[in-house]
Every structure is written in C-alpha cells, then in structure tokens.
Structure 1
Amino acid sequence: MSTSRADAPDTPVVPRPAATVLLVRDDPDPPAGRTPLQVFLQRRVAGMAFAGGMTVFPGGGVSSSDVIDPARWRGPDPAWWGQRLETTPELGGSLVCAAVRETFEECGVLLAGPDGGDPAALPEARALRTDLVERRSTFGELLDAHDLVLRADLLRGWARWITPPANPKRYDTAFLVARVPDGQRADDGTTEAVEARWWSPAHALASYEEREIELMAPTLRTLQEIAEHDTADDVFAAAEHRTISPVIPRVRREGRSVAVVLPGDPDWETAADHLTPKGPDE
C-alpha cells in the first residue's frame, strides 16, 4: 500500500475508531489438498474515498450511536473489551457494537439473538439493514424492537491497526473474529462492494501475488496469519492467546511515493514513523 507524498498532511490526522470482522467458517467440501478454513472478503467500489478497489474484511467506522444498553449485552462486557483492545471501556464497547452492526449492514450476518437463544436471522433483514445504513434507526433500536441481545461472546479479538500518520484518512481499527452462526449466510448485499464471497486464505494470498486483487497492509498481514491455521476452531483458539497492541505501519520514501513497512520487514528499523513535510520542488 502506498500514498502519494503530495497527499500527505503536514499535521497528522487524528485516527477515527473503526472495527472490522474476520468472518470465518469451514468449507464443508474443500478442494483436495486445501484446508477447510474460509474467510469472507469484499472488493470495495473503486471510487470510494478510502480503500477504493481494495479487497477487505467487512467493517467500518464507529458511530456515535454505537452504544448499547447493558440489558441488551451478553458476553464479556465493555470494560473487558477495553482491556483486551488496549483502549477505554467506553470505546471497547463501541468497537464491539460497531463490529456487529457493520457485519449486519454489509453482509447480513447478525451476531445477536433472543436472550438465552441462538443468533437469529431476521425475516425483514434487508429492510432493517437499509434503515441502519441510511441512519433511519440505530442498532440499539433494532435490538429493542426485536427483543434481541448483542452476543459479544461470539467475537474474539485479533489485532489493532492504526493508519500511518502520512495518510490523509486515518483509522484506528480493531480486528475481531467471528463465525457465521448456523442458519445464516453472508451475502453481497452492500452497495459498498462490487464483489463479496468466501475465500481460502491461501487462495486470497495467491490472488494478491498474481495481482488479481489488491490488499491493504493490515489485510495482507492478517490473511498471512490466519493462513497458518486449518479450521475456524483453530483461528478462534489462536485468538484467545494473541497479545493485542496497536500497530502503526512505518513509511519509506520511494521517489515521490511512500511505501508502507510492517513490523518484521527488513526495512522496519530504518523506516520513519512519520513524514517530514517537503517543499514542492523536493
């Protein structure tokens, strides 16, 4: 991933909190020689202001309405999530709410259900998703209207990535893992994507190497990490033991462009944490 130096702000933009979800499942009939693990990916519309044309996990920015009545919350509480994601209890809760809301808005998977019951697929889901996207209702109102509870216990923390200071649009993004509940299916119903489907991590990585798809650095690194596992259960078990600390990629100048450098890359120690503004002729 690179950004033009001309687009880099003189003063770094404050990152906007966001959440993204690695939806995983096991392929019931994997091709010979391929592990069953699959992950859901979307290719974003090319003209979008952020990550246009990129293949990404479902997710988006935290909304001011991403606050849930404690009575509608089941599983580890916001304080627990704040500690897990190295942030405040308030933001920890909002990140989980945003993750669940965005997953429902973008691919129709609802990580919520009746209290004491399994996650539920709602018959009027398409209309409810549209209401959320167009901000005619909030996710909390949806839970109230259908007497549902948010199932924070169905999520696991994976990572936290912060866009480098050089970028004009920045996000502080929590990466969470969830399985698709029984009886539900992920779809391509979002207007933000031109394609959405299940991939094996190895196939996605091979497609990236062949330049058939484009991946941002955090997506690439995350796919590399989950590709080390064979099943959805293996990914969940790995998530339990991961240390989550914010990762801010560094940058390296390549002429008039800026290349992203990740921890563990050969140039990590010599790359800059930020860009020093240059004159127009430099």
Structure 2
Amino acid sequence: MKNIIGKSWRDSASLIVLTKRNSEVLSRAEDRGNVNYDILLQTRTSKGTFANSVVFPGGVTESVDGSSRWWDLFRSFGYSNKDFEVFHRPNTITSEIFKNNPIQRHLQLRITAIRETFEELGLLICSRDRKESRDDNLYANVIEGVDLKHWQNRVSKNPEDLITLCEEHQCYPDIWSLYYWSNWLTPITLPKRFDTAFFIAAIKNKPEYLRSSSEVVEVEWLPPQEVLNSERKLQPPQVYELLRLSHVKDIEELITFACERSGHGTHLSYPFVVKAKDGVLFALPGDDLYPSSVDYNDNTTKYIDQTILELRESSKSVHRIESKKNSRCLVIQNYKPEHHIEMENKAYKGFTTA
C-alpha cells in the first residue's frame, strides 16, 4: 500500500495547450520532429518555484475551484450531473489526487488548469454554447475581447473572481474540452512538492494577443522536439511529456486519442530516487528498480553499488530517467503503459534539465 499520511505537497493542475502549425512554417522546419502542431510554453522568472524553467501553464488548486457556484453556472447552460460522469469511468485507474469523489475532483482540477492558464497567460478557455448547441468538436473554445489586465489582476488576487468573470461575460470554463493526460508527484528530495494533474487541450487558432503575468518572462509556441533539442531548462515531467507527445505527429490524431483515453485514468508518476556509483536515476512505475510499496514522504535514498549503465543492462523492464552531470536521458525498455502512448525502446538523449 502506498502511504499518503501526512502528505507534504500541494495539489495542482497543468494544461498542455496545442494548436496546429501553418503550412509555411511546416515546410521550412526540418528540426521540429515533423509534427504539425505547436505547444504553449512559458519560461518562469528567476524567482519562485521552478526558476528559469520552461513549463506548461498551471498552478496550485484552490478550494473555490470546486465551489458549488460552478455547478450552478454549468446548470444555467443546460448541464446536469450526468454530463460530468464522462470525466471518470467506473473501475478504472484512480490515482490519489482523484480518490475522494473523483468526478468532483476532476471538475475542480480542470477549473484550476483553466484559471491558472488565464492568470499566467491571458488565455481564457471558456465557452458560451449551451449544452444542446455543443457539437462533437474536440477542440476547446477560447473567449476573446476580455479586459485582460483588469481580469487577470482580479483573478490573481481572488480566484473566485473567475466565476464573476464568467457570469459577466456569459460563459463557462470549457472543462469538457480538457482531457486528462497524466499525474506527477514531485520527489521528496525537492523543497517544494506538488501532486499535479496534467490535462491536454487543443485550440483552433493561436490567439492574436496573450498577456503574461509577472511570474513569466517568455511565452512561446513550439513543437516538442525543438524544445528538447534546445538549451532550455526543463523539469522531468515536461521532458517526459514532450517526448511522449512527439510520438504522435498529427494534432487531429493526438487530440482524438487524448479524448478517448481521458476517462481511463493513469497511474501516478512518482520518480523513485536511486543513487548509483556514477550518478542518479529516477525510476518510474513499471521499472524493475521501482519498489512494490512506496512511502511518498520517506526521504531515504536507495544506493546501489553499480554504474548507471550496469543497472540498465541488468534490468529487463526499464522506465527511468538517468542523470549525469546535469545531462539526463529517459530510457525505455520493455515498458508498455496502460491506456497511453507507447514509446520506442531507446534512450532519449539530448535535453537539458534543472
């Protein structure tokens, strides 16, 4: 049994936003992995959490993100309790972040992802369509024409003001166009820890204008491989998800897959730290070195008197990040995820991490 007693982390949500790239850019970019989409990325400031890192928009969940006022707002657009059941299928994988009332938690964390994306970048993923008017379009809706400076400041100071914004602009968070993608928990070795639900959404067009907050120094739309091949500073979850995304080249195929797999849930990705003779590796679930029982608050580091390569060669199932001198690679060998993208058996090198 996994131990969560006295947890030392905060729940949070991140949003991976995709949009299709134009044909002119596609034709002249050979180093972009041949994908036809870009991902919305932001670079954090030198102060605060994940300093100088390139991350997806997101942040800590607030109790108001699960307020009954949201249920009232959704009902005013024709939604009923049954419409929320698509978020979680019975008898499926349920990680700890969703254990208590999974449907309510899905609603809350989706709103967290949308609220934080708006606070940080001014992208308001909301809809004005009544339930009976919605089609089967898998793309998320975006509301423009909002006074970004005014509302970003208000929502940043008081998260409940996102409800007020929606009421005044007659819209609601487009939570049905967010698809549950993964769940990562920060290792015990780091001073600040987050249990983060990652969602994915696609929008038809890049907004003409985004307004970043004081926590963000740069906003970019880039394909996954270009980010990985650059010198940008990345955290392990971003590295992993960018590599995973790069295996699907077409945005329509990717978002269709994301929608289908969303209700299945995912196992928690918790990097279990193992020290080797010449570096450190972070074992992930499914790896031979991953323990059968994990205490997420135990700061004892396992040491094995072998090199990283020796440990790799002696393992049958490998699902780990290997770290040497600020250079890391994700190694996959005989690992097949449940209800998710299957990556090749290889060592993914060439990216810079924190």
TM-score w.r.t. the length of structure 2 is 0.65
Mapping of residues 57-96 of structure 1, within 5 Å: 57-67=56-66, 68-73=69-74, 77-81=83-87, 86=94, 87=98, 88=101, 89-96=103-110
Query: Does the Cα contact within 8 Å between 2:41 and 2:54 map onto a contact in 1?
Result: yes
Query: Does the Cα contact within 8 Å between 1:15 and 1:172 map onto a contact in 2?
Result: yes
Residue identity matched to 2:60 = G
Partner of 1:110: 124
Residue identity matched to 1:27 = R
% identical aligned pairs? 24
Query: Does the Cα contact within 8 Å between 1:261 and 1:267 map onto a contact in 2?
Result: yes
- Which is worse superposed, 26-35 or 76-85? 76-85
Q: Aligned equivalents of 1:40 and 1:142: distance in 2?
A: 23
Partner of 1:189: 212
SS at 1:46 equivalent: coil
The alignment status of 1:27 with 2:21, answered yes or no, reads: yes
Q: Aligned equivalents of 2:280 and 2:47: distance in 1?
A: 21
Q: Aligned equivalents of 1:18 and 1:161: distance in 2?
A: 10
Partner of 1:7: none
For 1:143-191, what per-residue CA distance to the aligned partner results, in whole angstroms no more than 9, with x for missing partners?
1122212211221111111112333321111111112354734635121
Query: Does the Cα contact within 8 Å between 1:13 and 1:170 map onto a contact in 2?
Result: no
Count of matched residue positions in the alignment of Structure 1 and Structure 2: 262
* Distance change in 2, residues 1:214/1:241 (3 Å): same
Query: Does the Cα contact within 8 Å between 2:123 and 2:142 map onto a contact in 1?
Result: no
Q: Could you say which structure has the greater relative contact order, defined with CA pairs below 8 angstroms and 6 or more residues apart?
A: 1
Q: Aligned equivalents of 2:249 and 2:301: distance in 1?
A: 45
Query: Does the Cα contact within 8 Å between 2:177 and 2:201 map onto a contact in 1?
Result: yes
TM-score w.r.t. the length of structure 1 is 0.80
Q: Aligned equivalents of 1:59 and 1:104: distance in 2?
A: 9
Q: Aligned equivalents of 2:299 and 2:206: distance in 1?
A: 48
Shift of 1:69: 2.2
Q: Aligned equivalents of 2:235 and 2:282: distance in 1?
A: 9
Structure 1 unmatched runs, 5+: 1-10
Shift of 1:229: 1.1
* Distance change in 2, residues 1:54/1:266 (3 Å): farther
Pairwise CA RMSD: 3.1
Considering only CA atoms, is the larger Rg found in Structure 1 or Structure 2? Answer: 2
* Distance change in 2, residues 1:35/1:182 (3 Å): closer
